[in-house]
Amino acid sequence: MAGRGRKKADIMEQEDVLQAVIIADSFDIRFAPITKDIPRALMPVANRPLLEYTLHFLVAAGIQEIFVFCCAHANKIIKYLNDTGWTSDKAPCQVTTQVSEDSLSPGDALRLIYDRSLIRTDFVLVMGDLVSTINLQPIIQQHKQRRLKDKVTVMTMLFREAAPRHHTRSSDDDVVLVTERDTNRVLHYQMVEGQSKLDLPLDLFSDQSDLDIRYNLLDCHVSVCSPQVPQLFADNFDYQTRNDFVRGILVHEEIMGNQVQAHVVTDEYAARVSSPPMYDAVSKDILQRWTYPLVPDNRLSSQEQEGFYTLRRHHVYRGRDVFLDHDSVLEENVVIGPGTRIGSHTTISNSVIGQNCVIGDNVCLKGVYLWDNVTVGSGCSLTQCIVCSGVTIADRVVVEPSCVLASNVVVGPDVHLPAGTRVSLHPMQTPGAEDDFQEPTETVQHQTYQPDRIGAEGKGYIWEGDDDQDSLVAAMWGLRLEQEDSSSEESEESSEEEDNLDEENSPPDDIRIFYTEVLDSMQRAIEENINADNLILEINSSKYAYNISMQELNVCVVRCVLESAHLRASLMATASEYLAALKPLLQPMKGLLKNYIRNSESQQDCLMALEEYFGTHLNISAVLVSVLNFLYNEDILEEDSILKWYRHTAPSSTVPHKAQQQVRTAATKFIQWLQEAEEESEEDYD
């Protein structure tokens, strides 16, 4: 009896442990090429790694067990946690890493957390780039008490009051939130980036009498979750992000009964370093002490020395063993790391200087972030840029706003870097290859340095990405770069080449005209809410007019559904943006797809269409899992057909063999799930 009592007590003790999950991978390229060398979670902000801020935030909330999910650069995160004592017995909480090299989204991370049965109780979910001083303890208790009364609450989302255009409010997280006034239950959650008007569902106002509609909130990306959350991610392959999860819960609330709550804070601080503008904004907030006690002169861990920095007037923080020539000036909002040496007649303002840097004479630094062991020669002028560890900038170099110099780059002498220049020791890879998902391979110099652009002593490659990447860099600190005429001409030439390539691979005229008519009919049906039966009549009449075979018809219909979403989202959409545009179309188009995809032959036509479309749009191939999951759940595609397609790659005239393999790689997770489900059903049968 005594042993049984101790066992029950142990179980109760385990259930009371406060757990947290940190997603220490960004799954985007906003800080490329910096993240070729270092994960975003370890980027220094005010001379502290970002992950340090996140860990201390959770420790202050009383979290006892933290799981740090790592994907890219996992070995560096593990080494950091070991070196700083977070994984030792003396750490304030238990910290363990969970590594997955093939995860592509936070949703994949939570599915892995579920597969490993790590979550036993309510837990806190955060990203590894969070800086926050919110007192989580009462919020966690409110969440638990609410769940004791009613189990339907699966998540409590944290928001901070912040007016539109607030400097810490990222444009990527511009959100409109509709809640029930008395309970704070979330009724509608919508991202409104770049939109000038908002459409709200009419049933919000017919079903509820007392609502709060708010556009003055910053999404903290801190969520208190029930243990069911990882399972819900595992059950829904189309949940790639937390935003997908919230929208899914709201859409299926009447069916599943799950609810999401909102908690709004007013005086406390929270922001994610999710982009270069946010890196600048959060850094300045730390220097101006809006994040107290998370400030440079305050010791956060035993690894940091007492009195490492001293605070002086005008928010100037000076580290130990700093040499500053008497003619140099530190104006305001400046951090100077220990061991740094600064020459004469140098002016520094609104900048963070790392440890052991050497700055020459007659240098001007404004809004600059120098990491550790950086050398800046005499006569240089740097404005609003990030200079990573180990960089050498020779004499008389001018660096304009929004430039990024990745680790160990050498620039100069006597060179002028235009606004938005990115330089790295890693050569630029093919589009889509430079991301935070992969470990960098050993640098191979397959290009030559460009001394006319980075200086005679320069070492590094200039990254010149596509429009999507350039726009991310151009938005750094609000900068807008003007496109030169030559760029427009090159763009036109490129477009002409692509058009010629499309013509070479394009189908015969009748099929092309038929495809256009079907796409137009589908767009009109979506806009005017025409039912599937009428759309089928239109498509069938066009089929007979152009003498189209059933195989051609099946492929065309599936491709048109996929392209309709692309037209709604824009052709340059990311995978998550495309998925958000596609999901509302799939349900209305279900009847249309079921009408044409009826047997094993038509199912292979459907799969061939998916392969061709995602094979020519590899940047959104991650969405294929969600599409296959929908078609399988709706009994449009059968398991045998999917496995047959996956195992046998048929030659294609429109998709290269390598792209076909990439499409199958994107579908691997769904295939594995199918096979595991089949094995479980066989075991149950036995």
> Could you write out the DSSP letters of every residue in 358-422?
EE-SS-EEES-EE-TT-EE-TT-EEES-EE-TT-EE-SSEEE-TT-EE-TT-EE-SSEEEPTT-E
- pLDDT over 70 percentage in the chain: 85
Average pLDDT score over residue span 77-90 = 92
pLDDT at 617 over 90: no
**Same-domain check for residues 474 and 512:** no
Average pLDDT score over residue span 592-599 = 90
pLDDT at 646 over 50: yes
Query: CA 307, CA 83: separation in Å to the nearest integer?
Result: 21
Beta strands 369-370 and 65-70: pairing type? unpaired
Nearest CA among 153, 381, 168 for reference residue 263: 153
Domain contains 189: yes
pLDDT band at 167 (very low <50, low <70, confident <90, very high): confident
> Which amino acid, 119?
I
Q: Would you call 204 helix, strand, or coil by DSSP?
A: helix
- Identify each DSSP E strand in 28-108 by its residue range: 44-45, 48-49, 65-70, 94-99
Give pLDDT, residue 559. 92
Domain contains 492: no
Pair 355, 336: CB distance under 8 Å = no
pLDDT band at 505 (very low <50, low <70, confident <90, very high): very low
Domain contains 295: no
φ and ψ at residue 369, rounded to 5 degrees? -120, 100
Q: How many domains does the chain have?
A: 3
pLDDT band at 492 (very low <50, low <70, confident <90, very high): very low
What tokens does 318 get?
């000076």
Pair 518, 557: CB distance under 8 Å = yes
Domain contains 646: yes
What tokens does 673 get?
């799930």
Domain contains 497: no
Pair 390, 407: CB distance under 8 Å = yes
Q: Would you call 121 helix, strand, or coil by DSSP?
A: coil
Give pLDDT, residue 109. 92
Give pLDDT, residue 544. 75
* Dihedral angle, C-alpha 83, 88, 90, 93, nearest 10 °: 110
pLDDT in tens, 308-331: 899 998 899 999 999 999 899 999
Provide long-range contacts, Cβ within 8 A and 24+ apart, for 315-323.
315/287, 315/288, 315/289, 317/287, 319/355
Pair 353, 334: CB distance under 8 Å = yes
Average pLDDT score over residue span 266-286 = 92
129 versus 300: which is more confidently predicted?
129
pLDDT band at 408 (very low <50, low <70, confident <90, very high): very high
For residue 379, give Cα distances in angstroms to 72, 334, 339, 415, 616: 38, 20, 21, 11, 49
**Same-domain check for residues 165 and 255:** yes
Pair 144, 279: CB distance under 8 Å = no
**Same-domain check for residues 132 and 251:** yes
Average pLDDT score over residue span 432-442 = 44
Pair 319, 336: CB distance under 8 Å = yes
- Identify each DSSP E strand in 85-185 by its residue range: 94-99, 123-127, 130-132, 153-161, 175-180
Query: CA 393, CA 276: separation in Å to the nearest integer?
Result: 21
**Same-domain check for residues 469 and 561:** no
Residue 630: CATH number of its domain:
1.25.40.180
pLDDT band at 447 (very low <50, low <70, confident <90, very high): low
**Same-domain check for residues 412 and 328:** yes
pLDDT band at 519 (very low <50, low <70, confident <90, very high): confident
Give pLDDT, residue 81. 94
**Same-domain check for residues 416 and 560:** no
Query: CA 35, CA 39: separation in Å to the nearest integer?
Result: 5
**Same-domain check for residues 605 and 473:** no
Exposed / middle / buried, residue 279 (Cβ in 10 Å: 0-12, 13-18, 19+): buried
pLDDT at 469 over 50: no
pLDDT at 13 over 80: no
Give pLDDT, residue 347. 96
450 versus 254: which is more confidently predicted?
450
pLDDT band at 115 (very low <50, low <70, confident <90, very high): very high
Return the bridge partners of 337, or none: none
For residue 56, give Cα distances in angstroms to 119, 302, 463, 659: 21, 12, 35, 44
pLDDT in tens, 57-76: 999 999 999 999 999 899 99
**Same-domain check for residues 386 and 330:** yes
The DSSP 8-state label assigned to residue 317 in this structure reads E
Give pLDDT, residue 208. 66
Query: CA 47, CA 356: separation in Å to the nearest integer?
Result: 12
Query: CA 229, CA 122: separation in Å to the nearest integer?
Result: 9
Give pLDDT, residue 503. 41
Average pLDDT score over residue span 384-413 = 95
Range of the domain at 22: 12-193+205-276
Give pLDDT, residue 444. 44
Token pair 């036993």: residue? 120
pLDDT band at 502 (very low <50, low <70, confident <90, very high): very low
108 Cβ neighbours under 8 A, 6+ residues apart: 100, 102, 240, 669
**Same-domain check for residues 331 and 423:** yes
> Which amino acid, 680?
E
Query: CA 199, CA 64: separation in Å to the nearest integer?
Result: 43
Final residue before a domain boundary, out of 461, 478, 495: 478
Residue 38: CATH number of its domain:
3.90.550.10
Lowest mean per-residue pLDDT among 19-23, 167-171, 479-483: 479-483
Final residue before a domain boundary, out of 231, 256, 276: 276
**Same-domain check for residues 558 and 664:** yes
Pair 373, 357: CB distance under 8 Å = yes
527 versus 97: which is more confidently predicted?
97
pLDDT at 472 over 90: no
Nearest CA among 386, 337, 381, 378 for reference residue 359: 378
**Same-domain check for residues 514 and 469:** no
Average pLDDT score over residue span 67-93 = 92
Q: Which helix (H) or strand (E) holds 529?
A: none
Query: CA 502, CA 499: separation in Å to the nearest integer?
Result: 5
pTM value is: 0.69
What tokens does 181 get?
């006034």
pLDDT in tens, 193-229: 767 778 888 878 876 678 999 999 999 999 999 999 9
pLDDT band at 433 (very low <50, low <70, confident <90, very high): very low
For residue 64, give Cα distances in angstroms to 58, 59, 82, 90: 9, 7, 18, 13
Give pLDDT, residue 302. 65
Domain contains 19: yes
Domain contains 297: no
Cis peptide before 293 (omega within 30 of 0): yes
pLDDT at 542 over 90: no
Domain contains 300: no
Query: CA 181, CA 508: separation in Å to the nearest integer?
Result: 59
Nearest CA among 327, 313, 316 for reference residue 361: 327
What tokens does 655 get?
């998709």
| Per-range mean pLDDT, top range of 79-93, 502-516, 645-659 | 79-93
**Same-domain check for residues 551 and 435:** no
Average pLDDT score over residue span 112-127 = 94
φ and ψ at residue 158, rounded to 5 degrees? -100, 135
How many Cα atoms occupy the beta-carbon half-sphere of 332 within 13 Å? 5
Q: What is the mean pLDDT of the chain?
A: 84
Residue 395: CATH number of its domain:
2.160.10.10
